[in-house]
Amino acid sequence: MAIATLIAAGRLDDSLLRAAAERVGCAKAPLWRDGQDAAQLRVGNGEEARQAIEGWEGMDIIVQPDPIPDYRLFIADMDSTMIGQECIDELGDMAGVGGRIAEITERAMQGELDFRGALAARVELLADQPAGIIDRCIAERIRPREGAERLVRTLKARGVRCVLVSGGFTRFADRIGADLGFDRVVANRLGEAEGRLTGRVDGDVVDGAVKERVLREEAGEGASLAIGDGANDLAMIRAATVGIAFRAKPILAEAAEARLDHHPLDALLWALGIRREDWV
């Protein structure tokens, strides 16, 4: 058995809910419902339920074990997940090499290029840029995803530890993590010397294997919820109790147990049975 959370904010009236229940093979009344926004159903086969609903215009489905785990850890990717941008692409654009960097980023996220090699190639293109370009990029271009802060602060209020783990850079991630309320931030350190970028990453590279290791270290024996959007998040998503692909590249969307394609990040709170009136 599994629990399927159906999310169709403002649209999940009685008729749509009945139609959805019929699709997933559930004849009983919903286990839980929040107005016309979301509802939870008990289903016999979670994968079949997910396949029945995915692709239904404007509706997301999150399938979890029955009973829903008592999550103690939420771990999230940063670029294109908790924020709406790829920081290195934005830096590249400001430095006049945006097209070259964005092409490498896209191929890496699709899983076509090794992450470490792709990161080194992109960072090298930023060599000799003034270090102040980072602060200007954050101020002018970087914005959190809708619902990001609400999601993190509501989870924290319920005792969930929140960790931001990024293949991007500490100069971005530390500030974004603090603004959104994360307990811990793990990211790469972009090399700087004499006020300019060196074109190198200092220290160990945060790749998919590191993301998975951080999850396992933080979660221990507890249940974990992970979210990401690209190939570098694959290992982390697979290692989590429930892994969620957020508006993800096909390689991750196919591997994740759940997808959030249509609604903001805070819609995940419905999957935990938290009514909108209780969101922080």
Question: Which residues have a catalytic role annotated?
Answer: 77, 79
Residue with tokens 């350190």: 189
Nearest to 228 by CA among 211, 206, 210: 211
Confirm if 129 and 198 have CB atoms less than 8 A apart: no
- What the block records as the tokens of 101 is 């960097």
What amino acid is encoded at 166 in this protein? S
3-class secondary structure, 157: helix
CA atoms within 13 A on the CB side of 126: 31
Q: How many CB atoms lie within 10 A of CB 217?
A: 10
Could you tell me how far CA 140 lies from the centroid of its own chain?
A: 22
Instruction: List all residues 6 or more positions away from 60 whose beta carbon is below 8 Å from its beta carbon.
Output: 6, 7, 8, 259, 260, 261, 262, 263, 267
Phi, then psi, of 61 in degrees rounded to 5: -135, 130
Reported residue count of the chain is: 280
Query: Quick one: which H or E segment has residue 19?
Result: helix 14-24
Nearest to 258 by CA among 239, 237, 271, 243: 243
Omega within 30 of 0 (cis) for the link into 67: yes
